[in-house]
Structure formats: structure tokens, C-alpha cells
Chains A and B, each alone.
Chain A
Amino acid sequence: MARINRGGYGLSVASALVYFFLYAPIAVLVIFSFNRSRLSARWLGFTTEWYGALWRNEQIFQSLLNSLIVALAVTLVCVVAGTLAALVSARTRWRGRAWLDGVVYLPLVIPEIVIAVAMVVFFSLVHLNLSIWTIIIAHITFCISYVIIVVGARLGGADPSLQEAALDLGANEWTAFRRVTLPLAAPGILSAALLVFTTSFDDYLITSFVSGVSSTTLPLEIYSQLKRGITPEINAISSAILLATIPLVFIAQRLERGTLKLRGALAGVTGVFFLMAAPLVARTWPTERNLPQLNLYMWSTYVSPRVVHGFEREFHCKVNYDLYDSNEALLAKLQGGNVDYDLVVPTDYTLEILIQQHLLAPLDKSRLPNVWANLDPRFRNLACDPRDEYGVPYAWGTTGLAYRSDLVKEKVDSWDVMFDPRYAGHILLLDDTREVFGMALKKLGYSLNSTNPEEILRARDLLVAEKPLVKGYNSSNFEQDLVAGDAWIAQAYNGNLTFAMRDEPNIRYVIPKEGCTISVDLIAIPRNAPHKELAHEFINYFHRPEVAGAFVNDSGFNSPNRFVARGVEPWILAQPAIFPPPDSLAKCEFMHDLGPVVALYDRYWTEIKAR
């Protein structure tokens, strides 16, 4: 043995490094949950304020509750159905066995994304409304096999003569199952249950495809927070969950080695569960469940707690919101025809598509007096909705050029800078087909609504040539890349920059001289919205000047309400990026839906990204 043990030193060092690799991110996570700085990497002192903020964050607790409900339901169904199937797969020899194994193993070996897309087209086909139920169904589908396999392996390893002995001794099948087979299988069942629970609890990919009205789970919430860049609270909740799961891992491990009695394990699991559920119950207890509900589906950057809470208090209802970060994601969900949102906030050209596809309900104008009194006339009768029938302008902005004036040491006033090899690797584009093409078309001197295939092809060639200079495509938290110095130049929605410019005064925003997009997001009511009355109330409420002001203060985006300035904090009013002088918009163009030509844009976009 001594001979074999020589050279163990190198092995230990190598392993220590691997463990360091495994734990470095977790250490960062925990340490930064106590960091005073809101922005990632700089340490600005110790604080526990993020844990306090977490405690007050209703949205996170709601999503945690959803996640627990989903994971529990999935575990329950999978364990019962899976164990029954495992009894057969472990014991019986029959002709269909190979087929059965094939069907059972398939969900585990098929890439997750394929299951996700199969689910989403199927739910649309059978008109199953996307909700917490579709998440549960999808999760059961990819989790049930774990139980069949793990429990099957456990039973397969057990001696069948034990059960026979029980039967010989006069027990009937039920008693033999209860007294012999079940105790034999129990550790397998419990560890399969833990596996299913965590897999379901942590799933993002499939959930993101099949989630619907007010069914945002914790991973979805974390993802949209990551995209919005509210980071320390996420670190805090992850640290808290990590702390809660360590005992679970410990129990699972002990069970597998058989050093833990089943009763102890069950007690442990239950204990951990109550520890997790207690703050949840305490936190969500006071909210009344019988209130009328209003379900919003909106941009992740438009979250404004003040607007939502004000409305909830005044109209005695509960507002649930789910978030998206591209118009295409919104379209994809609505076109499936199986979600019931009460309000959506598409951008002008997407509103056109929704109108043409008859996916929106006409507005009852008589219920919206605030809108007609306070809406800036510039935003009335827009080309996307000429008679103001379907959408009410909610926010507006421009898509221009942002840069770090300390890193780019020249006058920036043109899209040219995006194509300058000196800035290779520091340029960020939006992950948005029409905006990126809009930039290229404008630079070439065309309209950003070009339907001329030759012009579009030239724009494509320009973008292909530019790709080596591009650091990445990001349309949701590019401002963080600017603040952190990862990007020097970025194509940017102006509203995203409001708070970034306060944190990092070197960030500048210009409307390039070639022109750029001006866009309006409009709030609209889907055709099959269940709560149309309350939806109208919300639109009308939103156009009170003080509410519009609160929205601007929270989101950083400008409002089309002409009296909004009354309620906006002075430092935001002073930002020309958000409140631009009207003449600077002369060269800006609204985007329009281009009908069939969009397919060409989409195809070229795939080609550009593929390179």
C-alpha cells in the first residue's frame, strides 16, 4: 500500500484546485450579498441591507411560493406514479420491456431545449392555457423518469425472495408491499424525491417556455432580475437558499450510504421544509387572496412598485406581473393563443402586428378620461394605431448611442464609431433584430423601415463585416456593461441609462446625426383578457400626472403624459438623454411593421448571429 500512496501530494493539490474552482463562485455570491455596492465587483463595505430588502420584496416571495408549489406537486405525482412503474420495471419480464425502457430513458437523454419547444407547441395545439399548471405538467414529464430509474435500481438490487417469503408466510400482496417492498424501496424513493424536488425547483429553461399568467417561478424571477441588474438581493436569496439546502444534501448523502434511519431522514426533510416555509407563510399571510386580480405582462425595465401598489390600494385588487425583455417574446406568447393577460405593453410596430392578427380588444374610450386630457398630442393618432383604438402610449424613448467619455476620447455624433476597428471588442449591440438593422440601414442612408431587398442585403453585409468588432449582443442590461467598463460603446435604449448615468457620470448618450429609432410602447388589452374593466381602470389611473411621474422616477423611462414633469425628480428632468430638446428628434423615425419582409430580416439576423 505504501508504494501506491507515493505521489499522492500532486493529486491532492490538483483536487484542491478543482474544489477551489467549484467554490469560487459560491464564495463570491455569499461575500457580495454583504457588499454595500449595488454594482458587482467593487467592495464598498459590509451591510445586511440586502437581506432586509429581500424581506420586503413581494415579487421574490411570490415567485418562491410558486416554485415551492410547483416543486412539491411535481415531486408528489412523480413519486407515486414513478414508484408504481418501478415495481414493474424492476420485477417483471415481459415483451414490452425494451420499449418501456426506451420511453423512460428518452426524456433524460433528449436535450432539454427540445422538450421545451415540444411542450410549447403542444400546449398551443391543445389550447391548454399557460399557467402554473402547464409548468407542473412539463416538469413531471422530465422528472418522472428519474423516479422510475432510481427506485427501479433500488428494487432491482433487492432480493425478490424476501417478498416471496412474506407471501409464503400468509401475507397478502398489499401487506407484503407495505411491510417488505416499501421499506426496501424507501431510501431510493426519498433520494429520488429530493432529486426531483431540486431539479424542478431550479429549472429555468423549460419553465421559461411554458410559464403563463402569474406563474413566475424563482428561477424566472432571478433571470429577469439578473437582466435588470438588481444584483445584491439575488445574492442574498441565493445564499439563504444555499443555507437551507445544505442539510438536504447531507440527508440525501447519508441515506445513500445507509447510515441514516428513514425516520430520521423524513424528520430532517420535514424540518428543513418548515424552516423554508415559515418565512414564506409569515410573509405572504396578510395578502388577501380573494381580491380581484389584474394580470400584467410587461417589459422587465418597466417595473414600478409605486404605480402598482398605489393602484392596488385604491382599487382593492391584486396586480400580478410577469416580465419579458423583447417584443418577440411577447408576440410568441400571445400568438400561442393560450395565455390570458389583462394588459400588455408592446412597442408600436408590434402593436401593429397584434392588431392585424386580431389579438387585441378595442378600447372603450369613454372609460379613459385621463388619457384624453393628459396625453401629449404628439403621441395621438400614431401611424401604428391611427384612430387610437387599441393602444394608449405608455412610455417613449429613442435608441441611440451610449459611450464612456473617459474611454472613447473623441467627439461621438455618428454611428460610424460602431464600425471603427480601433474600438474592436468594446462595442455592444442590442440583441434586437429590427434595431440592429435599423442602425445599419440608417448608416447607409436608407430608411430603417426599408422593404427593398437590396438595401436590406447591403445592411446585412455591413453587419457581417462589423461582427468581428462586436463584443456581444445585449438588450437588457447593457448599461451594466458600460458601467463596469466591459463595453465602451453601446447601442442603447435611452431609458435604461438613466440610473447608470447617475452611477457613472462618464456615460454619455447621443442621438446620432444619421438618425435613429424613436419608439412608443403602448398599453393594450388582449382580446381574451378576463378582467377588461379593471384593465381600463389601470390605463386611466396610469395617466394621472403624479402616477406617470412615479413611473418615470422608478423606471427611468420618459412618459407621453404632457404634465409628467410635475412629478419627476429634478435630476431626471435635467437629463437631455431622457427629456431631449424636441428639435434633436428631427431625424428620428418610428418603426413600422413590414409584413412579409420581416421574414427576410429575421433570416439574415440568424445568419449574422450564427457567424
Chain B
Amino acid sequence: MEQVLQFFRDRPTLRTTALLSSSLVWLVGFFLLPLLYLLVVSFAARSPYGTIAWDLGMRNYFRAFQPIYLEIYWRSVWMALLTTALCVALGYPVAYLIARRVSRRWKSALLLLVVIPFWTSFLVRTYAWMVILRTEGVVNNLLLSLHLTHEPLRLLYTPLAVFIGLVYGELPFMILPLYTVLEKIDSSLLEAAQDLGAGRFSTFLRVTLPLSAPGLVAGAVLVFIPSVGAFITPDLLGGARTMMVGNLIQNQFAMVRDQPFGSAVAFLLTFAVLAVLLGTLRNAQRVTREIL
């Protein structure tokens, strides 16, 4: 034992490598290599039978920029943005309440209640929304029996249903980071603002909101990325009618078997997400620096 330790003590680089090796080998072997291969596939062609034909070229990328597909990307982006905005609108009050308004005991209980839905099967929760939104579903039965509507509303298989599903799935990822930053805000700053004559609203706007910016950015990233690549929610709640880029990719692999084109779209999505991410992170740093 002592000899082994001495051996590594003398060779710090080797020690680092040894500790890292298992994870690194794994991530390189089962993550970076597959991604690289996917990149190569994205330049290949589809054979008539849906296998990969090694006739390399840019065709898939040219095709991916045809207007019809641009429309899908645009739709995915605005749907993800709207989802993010809705998550902020719904998540901010909750995060604020938990972080700043309730006693310690309530705090942990309320946080727990935010997390529990995240631990139940995502598919089943989505399915529960189908039951709620059907023409003869819970919402319509309620509206009809209260005479609020004469005929059932169309809810399932609409973009509205997709939004509900996306917001529902991602909301905890907005609330948790917001809670973390809001909780750390020093109360004396708020009191100082009010002592200096700021109203409640302007205190919130000029002190609390800027101070919670890092949480907003983190939450927005956590919500935006899965939303923009979603495919199960548009499939189940949108009736496979509202196509997003995730469905486009999945369709290429599971339905029309055009793996090269699917790979190309997957890479465009990856680059777009990474670009957005780098952009926001830089901005987030700048925003935080300006505030402080």
C-alpha cells in the first residue's frame, strides 16, 4: 500500500491521469467518438433502402437550409422561448415566495413539493395531461357541467397542449436556480432601497430583479435546451402535428430512415445550442459584473 502511494506521490501528473482515466476514457470512447462518427455520417447519403451510402458531400446541409426546414427551426425556437418565458412568469413568484416570504419549515416543505413531480415518470405525467385535455376529458367535463361552455373545447392535439406539456415538464428547472439566488440576496439591500425612498415595485425592479439575473439565466438555459430539442411532448400532446426539430430528427431515424440527413440536422441543432449557450454565459458574466 505504502509503496503504491509513494509511487503516485512522486508522479503527480500520473496520479491525475489515473484518477481521471475511467471517466475520461468513458466520455471519449462513448461520447466524443460517437459524436465524431455522427458528424461523418452527416456528410454521407441515404441508400435507396435506407442504409448509409458513403458518398460524402454537403447535400444534407444544403437540404437542411431549405425554407420548409427553416420553418421548423424557427417554430422550435419560438416555442422554446415562449416556454422559457412562461416558466419565468410561473416560476418567479413561487421561487420568491419560498426564498423570501416563508418560515424555514415551510421553505423545505414547499421546495419538496416542487421537486416531487420531477421524480415521477415523465411519460405518465404527460399522459395524465392527455386525460385532462381530451374532448371528454377533465377540463371539458368541468366547463360543461358549470355551463361555462356549450360545446367542448379543442384542447388536445393543439399547440396549446404542447406548451402546457413543455412548461409542466421544465418548470422545476426554473424554480430551483431562481430560489437559490433569491435566497442569497441580502435583506439589508432591500431595506436600504426602501429607506432611500424606493417603492416596493421599484425596489423589486432595481434591486431584486438584477440581483436574481444569474438565476434567471441559469434557469433559462436549463429550460430552453430541453424544450428546443423536445420530441415526446409534441408527439403525444401535439398529435405529431406540430413538428419541432426533435421530431424532425427522430423521424429521420425511426420513420423515413434517412440517417445522414437526421445527423446533419442533429449537428445544426447542437451548434445552435452551443452558440446560444456561449452567448448567454458571456452576457451573464457581463450582466453580473455591471451589477456588482
A positions within 8 Å CB-CB of B: 1, 3-8, 11-12, 14-15, 18-19, 21-26, 28-29, 32, 40-42, 80-82, 84-85, 87-88, 92, 94, 100, 103-104, 106-107, 109-115, 117-122, 125, 137-138, 140-141, 144-145, 148, 172-174, 198, 202, 204-205, 209, 218-219, 222-223, 226, 231, 234-235, 238, 241-242, 245-246, 248-250, 252-253, 257, 326, 328-329, 331-332, 335, 353, 356-357, 425, 428, 431, 433, 470-474, 484-486, 595-596, 598-599, 602-603, 605-607, 609-611
Contact = CB atoms under 8 A, between A and B. Distances in A.
B50 A331 contact: yes
B229 interface: yes
B57 interface: no
B119 A88 contact: no
B160 to A, nearest CB: 13
Contacts, number: 326
B274 A109 contact: yes
Contacts of A209: 253
Nearest to B97: A15
B16 A84 contact: no
B30 A40 contact: no
B167 to A, nearest CB: 8
Contacts of A84: 19-20, 22-23
A168 B236 CA distance: 61
Contacts of A198: 119
Which label, helix, strand, loop or mixed, suits the secondary structure of the B interface? Answer: helix
A85 B249 contact: no
Closest 3 CB pairs of A and B: A472-B239, A111-B229, A25-B128
A57 to B, nearest CB: 16
A204 B254 CA distance: 15
B166 interface: no
B171 interface: yes
Contacts of A28: 128, 131-132, 138
Given A18-B94, A111-B228, A249-B112, 18 more contacts: A3-B194, A5-B101, A14-B94, A18-B90, A18-B91, A22-B168, A25-B168, A28-B132, A81-B26, A111-B270, A117-B259, A118-B34, A144-B26, A145-B27, A234-B127, A246-B119, A484-B134, A599-B46
Nearest to A238: B124
Contacts of A331: 50, 257
B263 interface: yes
A5 B13 CA distance: 56
A113 B231 contact: yes
Contacts of B239: 428, 471-474
Interface string B255-292: 11111001100110110011001000000000000000
Which of A249, A257, A326, A329 has the most CB atoms of chain B within a 10 A radius of its CB?
A249
Nearest to A598: B48
Contacts of B37: 118, 121-122, 125
A41 B138 contact: yes
B121 A238 contact: yes
Contacts of A21: 90, 168, 171
A329 B258 CA distance: 12
Interface residues of B, number: 115
A148 B231 CA distance: 28
7 contacts: A11-B96, A28-B128, A28-B131, A117-B266, A231-B127, A238-B124, A473-B239
A345 B270 CA distance: 36
B93 A15 contact: yes
Contacts of A253: 108, 111-112, 115
B217 interface: no
Contacts of B71: 610-611
Interface in B197-243: 200, 221, 225-226, 228-229, 231-232, 236, 238-241, 243
Interface in B133-159: 134-138, 141, 152, 154, 156-157
Contacts of A23: 113, 117
Contacts of A596: 48
B49 A353 contact: yes
Contact of B250 (A109, A113, A234, A472): A113
Contacts of B225: 109, 111
A15 B258 CA distance: 46
B30 A137 contact: yes
A92 B120 CA distance: 38
Contacts of B134: 40-41, 484, 486
B192 interface: no
Given A22-B113, A610-B69, A118 B38 contact: yes
B23 to A, nearest CB: 4
Contacts of A25: 117, 125, 128-129, 132, 168
A455 to B, nearest CB: 19
A293 B249 CA distance: 35
Contacts of A80: 22
Interface string B74-107: 0000000000000000110110111001000000
Contacts of A204: 122-123, 232
Contacts of B135: 484-486
Nearest to A596: B48
Contacts of A606: 248, 251-252, 256
B35 interface: yes
Contacts of A326: 254-255
B2 interface: yes
B101 A610 contact: no
A353 B258 CA distance: 16
A457 B190 CA distance: 66
Given A15-B93, A85-B24, A425-B154, A241 B19 contact: no
Contact of B243 (A100, A119, A610): A610
